[in-house]
Structure 1
Amino acid sequence: MRKRQIHLDFHTPSLPFQLGKEFDKKAFQQTLLNAHVDSITLTGRCHHGHIYYDTKLPARHPQMQGDFLMDQIDAVHEVGIKAPVYLTVGWDSFSADSHREWLQRSIDGSLYGFDSNLELSPGWKMLCFNSDYLEYLKAQIIDTILHVGPKLDGLFFDILWQNPCYCPNCIQKMTKEGFDPENKDEVLLFAEKTQELTKKEIYEVVREYNKECTVFFNEGNVTPKIKKNMDNYSHIEIESLPSGYWGYQHFPITVRYAKTLNNPYLGMTAKFHQSWADFGSLKNEVALEYETMLCLAHGAGCSIGDQLKPQGVLEQETYDRIGKVYGLIEKYEHLIEEIESMADIAIMHPECSLKQSEYTTALAGAVNSLNESHLQFDIIDDQAELNKYRLLILVDDFVMDEQLNNKLEKFVNQGGKIFSTYQSALLLDNNFPSWWPCRNQGKNQYNPSYFINDTLNTIKQNEIIMHSSSLKVVNNNGKTLAYEGHPFYQRNYAHYYSHYQAPLNKKTTNPVLVENESVIYSTFPLFSLYKEIGNIAYKQIVIESINRLLGNESVFCTSLPSTADFIVNHQPGHKRLILTVLHYIPERRSLKVETIEEKIPLFNQEIEVNLNALYQQLNLEERAKLSVFDETSNQEVSSKIVDGKLRFTIEKIDGFNIISINYE
């Protein structure tokens, strides 16, 4: 898969002039070449419903002369650049305006749409895949494939999701298939089934006419639900514009799951300061550098979004900026060829819980806690093989079925460890498994209450306020590491103490952190708490628990600040580890947008590698010869082995630094 891609939107309404009137093939080619671009996704059909190639279909853009799509494809193919074709699916103004009966409807009859669901609001309206629109769409897909012919590199299908829809078609089909339209859960299941089947139908249409082009469906996120259609994807593209509503939290979560799916994957940001079609804006260069280098660090290709203006000319300032960051990607992209994650910790995705949460505050808090502590971890689903991991984390509210319970019990019986918080690992009967270190006694009456720390030596605080509900548990052949403390009373109108919660009144015998040989469990939702409040003590409880479970035998230890990303991959074909350090600090200086303006350099950062743990993870002989090389400065790095630890210093990290540890 190409690693320096452009996603070139072209959502263009009717115009007062000829579409693409200033397009110049040579200028188009040279701009992309100068920007180190190796693939560009070009628009065949846009959200306005217009088609951009020469067709007899009525949705052909009214101001297009000739064949604008093929002019672009031929231009980039001539200089060795690939050109997948973009086709919108869920948004189509041309169809929405002429076929109101094809629109998705919410339970009150209002429309689903972008920006607003009002009839007179600007923006897109969602088309329903249970209407005749799907046949209209498939006819256009076939037309596109036949028109582009052997020049078709791939197809990018956008906006492929079905909301819980109450249009007449959906109600009729739900009733026929045994779903209850008055049950919101069943309507949601029906919508998910519709989305799944639509992808399969479209994929079958594509493969009937083209056996080899790449195929990707953009449904807004990449979560375990994608597994139902994984055979319909050639690769994964993670749309994640940090300055848009995604934020800088989204990509680190999503990519850590995507990399476990055994498909090529890339991260997609954009050149805009805010989000798509923010014309007249340009993302800060340092922010764009971080976003693309973070993709590379996680083994992902890069895609930068842009929108071509109707005249058909690429903006020079945009591609000068893209060229600077893609020059870096081109220099280092060989370091992510055929890599494997060095994660020895896995977080189970909460969507696999019986409560099925696609995104939770707890998941974000877990990713932040581990990433800031420079631990190597993946996010996995309940179908993943667990034996490659030393530790599994269940975050805050992960309710299990019996099948997963059996899988986890087998994991711990084979030496695996589990760290779990709050309601995670509860079964359907609201009890913990028999092999758990405690038994559930129901919800705690106090919220908030106190975590009394007697045994966690790295936390220099005995009394820690926990601003959340919690469970009350009793030991089940476990060891209590911390006890609950009660405030003088619950704060209410009748009695309150100063500005906030009442101070500690007494330490109880109620366990709040308990362990056995394989499990450490906290009664508090530590991950949600850390994401919501950011109290470092919550993160310290997590990390101290992880270290106890791993016997303080983490493979990597660093002096890096918590603001740094530290990602390690293995290139077995080259017999080396690739360590990427990034130090860019996103800030929300405005009310709406997160961004980065400056790099913050770091100096003399120490890295320590536990060789015993490393050799075990890689199945290497203990006599392996090791050398350290700075890929950024292209020079050897002095290192030494002390007490079974490989130690070296990175002298300077100017935004990023890439180190390889080579073994023979």
Structure 2
Amino acid sequence: MKPLKWCLFFDFHTMPANPDVGKDFDAEALAALFAQAGVDYVVFPARCNLGVAYYPTKLGIPHPSLHRDILGSLTSACHRRGIRVSAYINLGLSHEEGLRHRDWLVLPQNGETYSKDPLNSFFRQMCYLSDYGEHAIAMAKEAVATCGVDGLFLDCMNTRPCIGKECLDAMAKEGVDWQDSRQLHAFNQRKIVGMAKRLADAVRTVKSDLLLYFNGVGYEAQQSIGSYLEFECLPTGGWGYETQAVGFRYLRTFGKPVLNMTGRFHRSWGDFGGIRTEASLEYDCLNGLANGMRPTIGDHFHPRGDINRAVAALDTRIYQRLQKLEPWLEDAKPLTEIAVPTLRPYPGYDYLASEERDDYNRDFTAIKGATRMLCELKQQFDVPSPISSWENYRVLVLADSVILDGDCRQRVADHLARGGVVIASAQAGLDRDRRDFALPEWGLQYHGDEATETTFLQAGPELAAGLPDMPMAFYERGVVVSAKPGTAVLGTVVEPYYDRHWDGRHGFVYLPPDKDSGRPAVTCNRQVGYLSHPVFTSYYKHGSVPMRQLVEKLLARLFPQPLLLTPGAPSFMRATVCSQTGRRMVHLLAYLPETRGAGCAMIEEPLLVEQQRIALREDDREVRDVYLAPQGEKLPFSREDGYVVVTVPKLRGYALVVFAE
């Protein structure tokens, strides 16, 4: 597949009542703007979530005010400029069709075909086992054949469980108890994946090399169905920058091309009057490129066909700047040596039953905390999916709740047998029954949860440097462990006088530290560093810097020569290493999402960092030259203890440091 590099995505969700659809639409002018921005791939709607079409459909419902073939004409204009086009079809939502065919709608367990809020776009959802499924497949084939598009983007596929007749019959055939929430949700996910497979097989009979992406189908399931992956994350639109950091390091472990879908909207999809600051949108694109992903910027096209010149100019400025980096992006692969494995796949479609969702959210919170820490520490790491290999990582970070059972236990055992090291916290490393640690390498005995919610760390001499000389709060309840011979205790647990409670007279809310219990809080042996409290969850929830310092100290003890060193770098700076034949590149980003007012995370300007020293481990790759790209400015360098050391005089927002070999 020819790589997708500089992409745009357009919503066109338009009310059937709108009188002006396509009135001033100029396909040639729009395609010319795409070409000016250097765009090579565009997604544009064939049928939106209102259930109306923007091409001459014979199977669906054309928009009532449409009098031209919008998608077909745009596709032709783009093709003349070498730009590929995918047709957007909202598969899970099709409101006009659902209005006319109520038997096509999902019937949830509560019997309410319409949810209570009709201003929520998801208040009607389509059932793929009803006649709608075959109708949608036929319409997808029609759109490909009629409009000559290069691919399909199928949206909102993750519909809620249904107990309509077709679904009940299918569940009965499979022996599924629909009244069991876990079984019902598991069947629903199989139904969704099955729809994606049916559609993929059908449309490829029309065009065998179609680009296919199924939004709302788990990434693991798409390995054998779709052509590429997209990571949808509008950081200011509800996803947040913490999710962005996880998603980058998760999706790149699948071995498929990945597009980093951000958006121009200040808030979220359909925010017609909102526009991101240039710095924030550029940061999203740069951060994705630094992590091996190509950008796609989302927008919402005006029904009349008006071109939003401000947005087009913003996209063009950013893309034209970033396209100067193309020689250092082509086939560049991120270099990583640490893994933060997640055993519950993002975004958790397999864990939607209420009794499973709490566990998923707990684990994902810990993953976000670990990701934040390692980003601030400038470590090179992935968040591998359960189907991704762990074999090439030198360090596993098991965040707070990773239970070692079955395949996971074996993978960690194999990692240790290869000489790898582990950082683990709280319950991470326990066996399936949570009775003890699953592997002897932990060097610990487990004794259950702490009796008190509030405890403190007393750092031993090996940890004390740089930490406050005082008992430090853990903020989250930990577990009780004892150290076996050969395991060093680096810090201990200090207990409070009393735990938080009400005794009928007073509310015990002032909980000063009392005595050192002597129980291990931080331990380390030859291969495993361990913290008895959920420090990653705590860091995400409370932002206590000493928690990060503890992890940093364990990493320095077990993994003293990481790939990249950035002494004195500010915590907000991000640094990632990528490799091409004959060179390695270090991407340095200096931006800071700032929480403003009621909670909007805003990046308004890039930040200035001066005289930043970085050191890249040379390994067996002899560096002969160091320079800044794309300007080519050479930087003097030296060699120190196996590292190539260079100082970047000044970076404002971004610098790409190239180590030529």
Pair in the same fold by TM > 0.5: yes
Amino acid of the structure 1 residue aligned with 2:320? G
Answer yes or no: is the 8 Å Cα contact 1:448–1:467 preserved in 2.
yes
Match of 1:629 among 609, 627, 630: 627
Post-superposition shift, 1:18? 4.4
Indicate yes or no: 2:434 matched with 1:432: no
Q: How does 1:504-583 map to 2 (within 5 A)?
A: 504-571=513-580, 573=581, 575-583=582-590
Answer yes or no: is the 8 Å Cα contact 1:632–1:659 preserved in 2.
no
CA distance in 1, matches of 2:305, 2:411: 56
Query: Which residue number corresponds to residue 659 of structure 2?
Result: 661
Indicate yes or no: 2:372 matched with 1:375: no
Give the superposed CA RMSD: 2.2
Amino acid of the structure 2 residue aligned with 1:410? D
CA distance in 1, matches of 2:37, 2:602: 22
Q: Which 10-residue stretch deviates more, 225-234 or 205-214?
A: 225-234
Indicate yes or no: 2:318 matched with 1:325: yes
Could you say if the C-alpha distance between residues 284 and 267 of structure 1 is closer, same or farther in structure 2, counting changes exceeding 3 Å?
A: same
Query: Which residue number corresponds to residue 171 of structure 2?
Result: 174
Match of 2:180 among 174, 177, 183: 183
CA distance in 2, matches of 1:95, 1:16: 17
Answer yes or no: is the 8 Å Cα contact 2:400–2:425 preserved in 1.
yes
Post-superposition shift, 1:262? 0.7
Query: Which residue number corresponds to residue 445 of structure 1?
Result: 451
Answer yes or no: is the 8 Å Cα contact 1:350–1:363 preserved in 2.
no
CA distance in 1, matches of 2:108, 2:465: 52
Q: How does 1:216-255 map to 2 (within 5 A)?
A: 216-219=213-216, 225-255=218-248
1:235-261 C-alpha deviation (Å, 9 max, x unpaired):
111111111011112221111011111
* Structure 1 residue runs of 4 or more that deviate by more than 4 Å after TM superposition: 352-356, 495-501
CA distance in 2, matches of 1:520, 1:212: 49
Amino acid of the structure 2 residue aligned with 1:160? M
Could you say if the C-alpha distance between residues 20 and 592 of structure 1 is closer, same or farther in structure 2, counting changes exceeding 3 Å?
A: farther
Match of 1:86 among 85, 88, 105: 88
Answer yes or no: is the 8 Å Cα contact 1:284–1:597 preserved in 2.
yes
CA distance in 1, matches of 2:161, 2:45: 28
Indicate yes or no: 2:146 matched with 1:147: yes
SS at match of 1:275: coil
CA distance in 1, matches of 2:566, 2:617: 8
Post-superposition shift, 1:169? 3.4
Indicate yes or no: 2:599 matched with 1:596: no
Match of 1:123 among 116, 121, 124: 121
Indicate yes or no: 2:101 matched with 1:99: yes
Could you say if the C-alpha distance between residues 188 and 483 of structure 1 is closer, same or farther in structure 2, counting changes exceeding 3 Å?
A: same
1:71-92 C-alpha deviation (Å, 9 max, x unpaired):
1111111122221111111011
Query: Which residue number corresponds to residue 646 of structure 1?
Result: 644
Post-superposition shift, 1:505? 1.2
CA distance in 2, matches of 1:468, 1:199: 42
Query: Which residue number corresponds to residue 275 of structure 1?
Result: 268
1:311-338 C-alpha deviation (Å, 9 max, x unpaired):
1132111111111101122111331211
Post-superposition shift, 1:509? 2.5
- Structure 2 length-normalised TM: 0.93
Query: Which residue number corresponds to residue 159 of structure 2?
Result: 162
Answer yes or no: is the 8 Å Cα contact 1:162–1:194 preserved in 2.
no
SS at match of 1:209: coil
Query: Which residue number corresponds to residue 35 of structure 1?
Result: 37
Could you say if the C-alpha distance between residues 254 and 451 of structure 1 is closer, same or farther in structure 2, counting changes exceeding 3 Å?
A: same
Could you say if the C-alpha distance between residues 235 and 651 of structure 1 is closer, same or farther in structure 2, counting changes exceeding 3 Å?
A: same
Query: Which residue number corresponds to residue 584 of structure 1?
Result: 591
CA distance in 2, matches of 1:530, 1:495: 34
Indicate yes or no: 2:154 matched with 1:136: no
CA distance in 2, matches of 1:141, 1:625: 52
CA distance in 1, matches of 2:120, 2:162: 21
SS at match of 2:457: strand
Query: Which residue number corresponds to residue 418 of structure 1?
Result: 422
Post-superposition shift, 1:592? 4.8
CA distance in 2, matches of 1:26, 1:152: 16
1:262-305 C-alpha deviation (Å, 9 max, x unpaired):
11111011111111111122211111111111111111111111
1:25-63 C-alpha deviation (Å, 9 max, x unpaired):
442233223333222111111101111111222412221
Query: Which residue number corresponds to residue 316 of structure 1?
Result: 309
Match of 2:360 among 357, 364, 373: 357
CA distance in 2, matches of 1:547, 1:59: 62
Answer yes or no: is the 8 Å Cα contact 2:254–2:385 preserved in 1.
no
Matched length: 642
CA distance in 2, matches of 1:458, 1:390: 26
Post-superposition shift, 1:123? 2.8
SS at match of 2:242: helix
CA distance in 2, matches of 1:92, 1:144: 16
Q: How does 1:4-19 map to 2 (within 5 A)?
A: 4-15=6-17, 17-19=19-21
Identity across matched positions, percent: 26
Q: Which 10-residue stretch deviates more, 174-183 or 409-418?
A: 174-183
Answer yes or no: is the 8 Å Cα contact 2:154–2:215 preserved in 1.
yes
CA distance in 1, matches of 2:481, 2:224: 44
1:589-615 C-alpha deviation (Å, 9 max, x unpaired):
13253221112111111112233xxx1
Amino acid of the structure 2 residue aligned with 1:587? E
CA distance in 2, matches of 1:328, 1:558: 29
CA distance in 1, matches of 2:185, 2:549: 39
CA distance in 2, matches of 1:551, 1:376: 14
1:330-373 C-alpha deviation (Å, 9 max, x unpaired):
11133121122211101101416997727621111001000011
1:477-502 C-alpha deviation (Å, 9 max, x unpaired):
32222211111111211299998441
Post-superposition shift, 1:95? 1.9
Answer yes or no: is the 8 Å Cα contact 1:344–1:391 preserved in 2.
yes
Unaligned runs of 5+ in 1: none
Indicate yes or no: 2:466 matched with 1:468: no
Amino acid of the structure 2 residue aligned with 1:367? T
Amino acid of the structure 2 residue aligned with 1:28? L
Post-superposition shift, 1:552? 4.7
CA distance in 2, matches of 1:496, 1:626: 74
Post-superposition shift, 1:181? 1.6
Could you say if the C-alpha distance between residues 434 and 589 of structure 1 is closer, same or farther in structure 2, counting changes exceeding 3 Å?
A: closer
Amino acid of the structure 2 residue aligned with 1:597? E
Could you say if the C-alpha distance between residues 659 and 123 of structure 1 is closer, same or farther in structure 2, counting changes exceeding 3 Å?
A: same
CA distance in 2, matches of 1:54, 1:553: 58
Unaligned runs of 5+ in 2: none
CA distance in 1, matches of 2:324, 2:508: 56
CA distance in 1, matches of 2:336, 2:29: 45
CA distance in 2, matches of 1:476, 1:110: 58
Post-superposition shift, 1:119? 6.1
Answer yes or no: is the 8 Å Cα contact 1:46–1:87 preserved in 2.
yes
Answer yes or no: is the 8 Å Cα contact 1:342–1:376 preserved in 2.
yes
CA distance in 1, matches of 2:366, 2:519: 24
Post-superposition shift, 1:166? 3.5
1:206-259 C-alpha deviation (Å, 9 max, x unpaired):
222221011111118xxxx52233111211111111110111122211110111
Match of 1:109 among 108, 111, 122: 111
Post-superposition shift, 1:514? 2.0
Could you say if the C-alpha distance between residues 377 and 120 of structure 1 is closer, same or farther in structure 2, counting changes exceeding 3 Å?
A: closer
Post-superposition shift, 1:122? 5.3
CA distance in 2, matches of 1:609, 1:383: 30
